[in-house]
Amino acid sequence: MMIKGMIKKRAVPATAVLLFFLVYPVMAFGASAVKGKHITSVYTYKVGEDIKRLKHPQGVGCSDTSLFIVADTENELFVQYELRDGQVKTVADFKQRQVSRPTKVLINSKGDIYTLDGKKRRIVKLSSDGQFIDYIVPKGLPSPESYVPKSFALDRSDNIYVLDIFSKRVLVLSPEAEFQKQIEFPKDHGYFSDVSVNFKGDILLLDSTKARVLYATKHEVSFSPLTESLREYLRYPTNVTTDSRGRIYLVDRNGYQIVVLGQDGSFLAYATGAGWKEGLLRYPSQVCLNTKGELFVADTDNNRVQIFQLIQ
Amino acid sequence: MKRILITELNKRVITKIMRIQVTGKQDLGPSTPWTLGPFLIIIALLIFVTPSYSENKFKLKEGANAKLCVDCHETLQKTLESSFVHFPVENGECSTCHNPHTSDHGKLLSDDVNALCRKCHEDVLPEEARSIHKVVAEGNCVGCHDPHASDNQFVLLKKGNDLCFECHKDIGDFVARVEYKHDPVEKKKGCLTCHNVHASRDFNFLLKKDAPSLCTQCHRTGERKFAERHMNYPVGDSRCTSCHNAHGSNTRKIIFDGAHEPVVKRECDKCHEGPLSQTPLKAVKDGIELCRECHKETIDKIFRKAQVHWPLVDSTACMHCHNPHAARQKNLMKGTMVNVCGECHPDKVALQQISIKNPENKTICKPVKEGNCVDCHSSPHSSDSQLFIAEESMSFGTCNKCHEWRSHSTHPIGDEVIDPRNENLIVECLSCHRAGGTGNKPKMLHYGSTYILCIQCHTGYRK
């Protein structure tokens, strides 16, 4: 009885202390500023003994390995690099006739490369060594003739989310491109540039002209606004991605910066700044984040890719 | 209490009288000697029973009103002979509007002119107006009305459309020039047939109603003739002004000049399903495929370029920017460049607007100043270069169209000059300037001053 009482007396403060130590860091983490510490910038790639220069790269895809891939848009090819100890080394470059103008690029859990061909407006799947696998043509799609992909995203299970601007919908496809479901655009919208999916499977939709993010949870069939207009913080967002904690990273193309939002859409920080020097951006196109907290940015008008370490 | 009531009633009646004076007989409605007579008797009684509404605040001697003023302001006497005299003037109540001694306002007015008019004419503007005549919003009542008297109804400075065309000269010239005129513009009440003069509570452009309701007040859409003229398409509820210019045109049936060819040729079925179809107004094809039917060569050329403007490939396609029937702007553009481009690029237009409105910003590119986006982005549908320019390079191609960059300054510039800030860039126009405007920054520079700009590269000169 006495022991029980003693335990009971101590249990309350112990729980409180435990809760404090568990919850406080999470709360603090959520509210803290996120900054990108510049690691390195990539300007060139090696082809044999020759050094070639990146030209308007619009895509960068990364994974939890040390490899990352760049869509060197104006040169119409891909370059695979390895990042080790802050040093970048060219692994390979490959040009595929099936891809005229590579823009957005993503890597799935198996290392396969997905890219959007900006000229032909189709999604192309390549193997990790750059071999053409297939075009992503949705199977079993309602009104397949009215399909124009503007952007796409992959989730952890390699499901494919396609922003179909012709039929004003987001398509959810299986890894084999079989149609799963579609969510129509809301009635009141501007111009949608990008789609993303977070660790919970919620779909994020980026409205560039209205400068806001919309979302639909995994089981919802319509989009709702996650944020009001973010014009106060940015100018023209064109790319959206999330990290493993659900924080949202927006590429503000015309504002030359990366804007970080909390999971609830509240503004947290600017991860980078605008300019020409290393660590600064001009007309960035895509960001990619891996679980190591490395942030890769296709710094398009600066003709380079920059890599940052995210710090709290 | 009785006196207060009488005074209040008196004020209302006086307001009514002022309206009669200002508007002539218009506002009296179906007045006849039977109704007008007793009404005037009541007015006269009220005026004599209660003190003057303007309380003789300057303690003028009896009979001194106006007479005193006219002694010096001799022209007033002639003014009083006009057909329409503002009520206070006619009654010699000069001090209703003027302070005879001193004033902080011009012409010894006792208040700001806008506030002064509103004291009596407070109901000129609806509480929430969709559109307000600029001159009214600015409180410039005397821009249209003579505050004393005039030979025109409503003490207007000029008669009918002549007054409107004083400011809207372009419309006046256009209306005079065009071959086919819309009757109400020249006859009937002129501009006021369709437009309210002060404000419109519910509609843009001061319109009394929106199209087609406004148009159907005169044009009967249910008649067979109407259907025949519209190739039997059910357009009675469609927006007439998407094809017809309400002010007039050089094209028959006042169809907009430069209208889309199928509209002029009345070939609606080139784009729409047949008039007997269940969905007659539906387009025969979706998106750009509809336009490709006639503009195949142009569209094929567009799609051969490396980057196509994304709006072109969605279901709205060309109609994001162009009106498929007719438009006031060239090339069937839906509006001015700033308006059309600004629909999707509001951030760019906002920056351009700040740039041109800043009085300090004297050096600014002409296309930015004029809002002609396509002067630089001259290949707006598609391009092999960045930013939808027709040339290979913005700096050495596009800027070079107006600026001789080699003689711009002694600063090294060109393909051989590497930007010290970034080894993958050369020094070019855009290294220092932002072509779309930089808001409050001078000379369209990226930075607030030339010094700050220069020390970005010339770090040794930093203070």
Determine the pLDDT at residue A220: 95
Could you read off the pLDDT of A237-275 as tens digits, one per residue? 999 999 999 999 999 999 999 999 999 999 999 999 999
To the nearest whole Å, the CA of A302 is away from the closest chain B CA by: 7
Determine the pLDDT at residue B40: 55
DSSP state of B99: -
| Interface with chain B: mutation pick from A151, A164, A191, A257, highest number of B CBs within 10 Å | A191
Which region among A91-100, A121-130, B116-125, B127-136 has the lowest average model confidence (pLDDT)?
A: B116-125
To the nearest whole Å, the CA of B310 is away from the closest chain A CA by: 8
Q: What is the mean pLDDT of residues A80-98?
A: 96
Contact flag B348-A231 (C-beta cutoff 8 Å): no
Contact flag A43-B310 (C-beta cutoff 8 Å): no
Burial of B304 (0-12, 13-18, 19+ CB in 10 A): exposed
Residue in A240, A133, A242 with CA at minimum distance from that of residue A177: A133
Q: Does A255 touch chain B (CB under 8 A)?
A: yes
Contact flag B422-A303 (C-beta cutoff 8 Å): yes
Confirm if B286 and A139 have CB atoms less than 8 A apart: no
* Ranges under pLDDT 70 in chain B: 1-57, 61-66, 405-406
The C-alpha angle with vertex B199 and arms to B203 and B127, in degrees rounded to 5, equals: 90
Interface of A with B in 7-36 (CB under 8 A): none
Could you read off the pLDDT of B99-141 as tens digits, one per residue? 888 888 888 998 887 788 888 888 888 888 999 999 988 888 9
- Look up the ipTM and state it: 0.86
Contact flag B313-A209 (C-beta cutoff 8 Å): no
| Interface with chain B: mutation pick from A151, A166, A231, A234, highest number of B CBs within 10 Å | A166
Determine the pLDDT at residue B113: 79
Q: Does A54 touch chain B (CB under 8 A)?
A: yes
Q: Does A236 touch chain B (CB under 8 A)?
A: yes
Is pLDDT at A29 greater than 60 in this prediction?
A: no
Contact flag A304-B424 (C-beta cutoff 8 Å): yes
Interface of B with A in 251-310 (CB under 8 A): 286-287, 306-308, 310
Q: Does A166 touch chain B (CB under 8 A)?
A: yes
Please report the sign of the dihedral spanned by the C-alpha atoms of residue B157, residue B159, residue B161, residue B165.
Answer: negative
> Around Cβ B255, how many Cβ atoms within 10 Å?
20
To the nearest whole Å, the CA of A161 is away from the closest chain B CA by: 18
Q: Does A89 touch chain B (CB under 8 A)?
A: no
Count Cα neighbours of A148 within 13 Å in the Cβ-side half-sphere.
23
Is pLDDT at A28 greater than 60 in this prediction?
A: no
Q: What is the mean pLDDT of residues A206-219?
A: 96
Determine the pLDDT at residue B256: 94
Q: Does A279 touch chain B (CB under 8 A)?
A: no
Residue B345: closest CA among chain A residues belongs to which residue?
A: A209
Burial of A251 (0-12, 13-18, 19+ CB in 10 A): buried
> Around Cβ A252, how many Cβ atoms within 10 Å?
26
Find chain A residues with C-beta within 8 A of B300's C-beta.
none
Contact flag A276-B425 (C-beta cutoff 8 Å): yes
Q: Does B83 touch chain A (CB under 8 A)?
A: no
Contact flag B307-A101 (C-beta cutoff 8 Å): yes
pLDDT band at A1 (very low <50, low <70, confident <90, very high): very low
Confirm if B93 and B65 have CB atoms less than 8 A apart: yes
Determine the pLDDT at residue B346: 94
Determine the pLDDT at residue A13: 60
Contact flag A191-B424 (C-beta cutoff 8 Å): no
Could you read off the pLDDT of A224-234 as tens digits, one per residue? 999 999 999 99
Q: Does A143 touch chain B (CB under 8 A)?
A: no
Q: Does B320 touch chain A (CB under 8 A)?
A: no
Q: What is the pTM of this model?
A: 0.80
Find chain A residues with C-beta within 8 A of B419's C-beta.
276
User: What is the per-residue burial (b if ≥16 Cβ within 10 Å, else e) of A170-207?
Assistant: bbbbebebebeebbebbeebebbbbbbbbeebbbbbbb
Contact flag A277-B313 (C-beta cutoff 8 Å): no
One-letter amino acid for residue B220 of the chain? R
